[in-house]
Amino acid sequence: MLINIAKPSDLTEADVTPESIYLSRRRFMGGVVGLGAGLTLSNPTHANADYSDVPQGDSPAWLKEKISGTEWRAITPDDPDKDKIAPYDDASNYNNFYEFGTGKTDPARRAGSLRTEPWSVVIDGEVNNGGRFALEDIAKPSQFEERIYRLRCVEAWSMVIPWLGIPLADIIQRAEPTSKAKYVRFETLVDPEQMPGQRSSFSLIDWPYVEGLRLDEAMHPLTLLAMGMYGRELPNQNGAPLRLVVPWKYGFKSIKSIVRITLVEEQPVNSWQLIAPNEYGFYANVNPEVDHPRWSQATERRLPNSLFSPNTIDTLMFNGYADEVAELYAGLDLKANY
Ligand SMILES: Nc1nc2c(c(=O)[nH]1)N[C@H]1C(S)=C(S)[C@@H](COP(=O)(O)O)O[C@H]1N2
Ligand SMILES: [Mo]
């Protein structure tokens, strides 16, 4: 499969428009931006995609500048009626981020203590061009893009979230993996002073929170390093200033507040695998046919919902991204490799 994502130079002026103009224009434009085969794209009038009420955060000037240069050319889920973007208030107040507590509202209440500036990321392991890089230098050479993706948590709820960021493949290519590099391992910050969940002696997780991808998954064009959402920087509770988004996998793969990216030879063991290996695997591809030992994965609650309108929908294979990613797993037993 080849996803032909247009280069900035291929885009017309209408495709690369500052946010403010874009936001007012987007509701009136009908055209479909022509990108390559495979990806379901992109009606710029995607239902309820209006971020004008979203409060702006306070991020450094370089990040604001990158965000205003975003290609507002969303790669979207394919059903704009059903796949409505979650209101910002839901996406930023119903979170899993155990570094700030295990309750869904703990991260929004407590993540204010995280200092995201300055921030640097170590890129090391099987690479020729590793080191410690300021976030700004990681972001600078890449074009920011918007990606409207479904996020499906293994707990059987989901949301549609508009992310901003850069393909992970950009970063990995620049690091120049050696021929031994087969997997990518990610780590979240460890700092109990800033992260109250890491001070709790009852914590399940052996910090840092760790995740991993196979190198071909990491290089896949859908795999995003997000630095923003809803047309602004990431709120801390969503993993500021840098988090992974892998839309065809359960949400726990999408590790937040990343400080280290290591190219490795062996398959990394992720935090949830360590805690309960019979419940959480390395792959964690969304799959309605492979149930979690304690609950079914056949359906999900699409948020926002309510008691009177539970909004239960069928879960899709690979979270609806099968056309793009199924061939990564040709020949792999998805029941054994959950
Ligand atoms: N470091 C870290 N990353 C994490 C988590 C976490 O607890 N710590 N939770 C994961 C889980 S279970 C989910 S569902 C998503 C939630 O992302 P969101 O809060 O932005 O919706 O983040 C993932 N990334
Ligand atoms: Mo999750």
Domains of the chain, each with CATH number or no CATH:
8-329 (3.90.420.10)
Please state the rounded mean pLDDT for residues 194-209: 93
293-336: per-residue pLDDT in tens?
999 999 999 999 999 999 999 999 999 999 999 999 999 999 99
Beta strands 210-214; 183-188: pairing state: antiparallel
- Structural contact between residues 255 and 265, judged by C-beta atoms closer than 8 angstroms: no
SS (H, E, C) 225-272: EEEEECCEECCHHHCCCCEEECCCECHHHCCCCEEEEEEECCCCCCHH
**pLDDT more than 70, % of the chain:** 85
Does the Cβ of 186 fall within 6 Å of ligand 1? no
Q: Tell me the two tokens of residue 66.
A: 């990158």
Mean pLDDT of the chain: 87
96, 114, 210, 242: residue to mutate for ligand 1 pocket, most atoms within 8 A of CB: 96
Q: Closest by alpha carbon to 45, among 4, 76, 13, 18?
A: 76
Structure confidence at residue 49 (pLDDT): 64
- 149 by DSSP, 3-state: which? strand
Does the Cβ of 256 fall within 6 Å of ligand 1? yes
Does the Cβ of 254 fall within 6 Å of ligand 1? yes
Q: Which of 6-10, 180-184, 269-273, 288-292 has the lowest mean pLDDT?
A: 6-10
Span from the CA of 213 to the centroid of ligand 1 (angstroms)? 16
> Taking 60 as the threshold, does the pLDDT of residue 15 lie above it?
no
Span from the CA of 268 to the centroid of ligand 2 (angstroms)? 19
The reply to whether the predicted model has a pTM over 0.85 is yes
> Taking 70 as the threshold, does the pLDDT of residue 24 lie above it?
no
Q: Closest by alpha carbon to 98, among 326, 275, 315, 314?
A: 275
Please state the rounded mean pLDDT for residues 28-48: 36
Q: What angle do CA 242, 244, 249 make, to 5 degrees?
A: 165
Give the separation between CA 338 and CA 331, rounded to whole angstroms: 14
Does the Cβ of 284 fall within 6 Å of ligand 1? no
